[in-house]
Structure 1
């Protein structure tokens, strides 16, 4: 049995004037959705991921769906940046990997049983030099349960 869960990614303080988007699909066959340009505020993305719903004693949750990338156990979601997000005139062409690690069955069961809850992570939108953050998010503080309308 499989169950869908909503995840929310908050990019904190991304650089102004740069487009960001979720990558839907993988390889060369993908599209960017929820394209947003940064303007002095955090950016939020929401998407659904599918969770393998049969919990077994030593098995970690498995994730799939059109927004999920990578091979187990290091699944992740891509945020496309600049030209990768369709912003042709951008000097940036990057992607940011947001890991789906650290999500426990206990956490998932709380979210699955409530239509009011989502999993949320907050990640830096800019690197130390002020350019858009890219590669795998580091440090990664993990996922927390929050209200859907929060």
Structure 2
């Protein structure tokens, strides 16, 4: 349950050009697999999840991991770590969230359905699934469609 000083924000990680057939998933808690999916032909994979943000900013949530006093990130599990025991890969992508600009956090916190979308490249230079810390190709605030 969120504390009074925490605001829920919707997040989306998009993995462009993942290695086809390789299972990816969000990491839930320290060990859990959440929402496993694989790309059939290299089409993008998308993972949606909420986080909570408090002044500072400070980040909280089932997918939020921490390293040191300030670094906060989300893991995307790959291959065996994502629940595919037959995969030759057992990796994780680390995607920083502590560097999201404050104005973007503020706009996403307004409660109008906005989603902070972070896009990363899913294939490493060697043709295998990208892993370790990935820098976003782009990050934007995606507003809901008005009908």
Give ranges in structure 2 of 5+ residues lacking alignment.
none
Q: Is the 8 A contact 2:74 2:94 kept in 1?
A: yes
The Cα shift of 1:148 comes to 4.3
* Distance in 2 of aligned mates of 1:92 and 1:148: 36
> Structure 1 stretches (4+) deviating beyond 3 angstroms?
none
Q: 1:32 aligns to what?
A: 33
Give ranges in structure 1 of 5+ residues lacking alignment.
none
Q: Is the 8 A contact 2:115 2:142 kept in 1?
A: yes
> Aligned to 2:119, what secondary structure does the other structure show?
strand
Deviations 1:73-113 (A, max 9, x none): 11000000000000010000000001013222221111111
Q: 2:110 aligns to what?
A: 113
The Cα shift of 1:115 comes to 2.6
From 49, 60, 63, the equivalent of 2:59 is 63
* Distance in 2 of aligned mates of 1:38 and 1:101: 28
> Aligned to 2:33, what secondary structure does the other structure show?
strand
Deviations 1:16-68 (A, max 9, x none): 11000000002xxx21111001212000001111100x4xxxx4x11011100
Name the count of aligned residue pairs.
Answer: 139
Q: 1:10 aligns to what?
A: 14
Q: Is the 8 A contact 1:101 1:142 kept in 2?
A: no
Q: TM-score, normalised by structure 1?
A: 0.86
From 95, 100, 105, the equivalent of 2:97 is 100
When the two chains are superposed, the root-mean-square deviation of aligned CA atoms in Å is 1.5
* Distance in 1 of aligned mates of 2:27 and 2:74: 8
The Cα shift of 1:116 comes to 2.4
Q: TM-score, normalised by structure 2?
A: 0.88
Q: 1:42 aligns to what?
A: 44
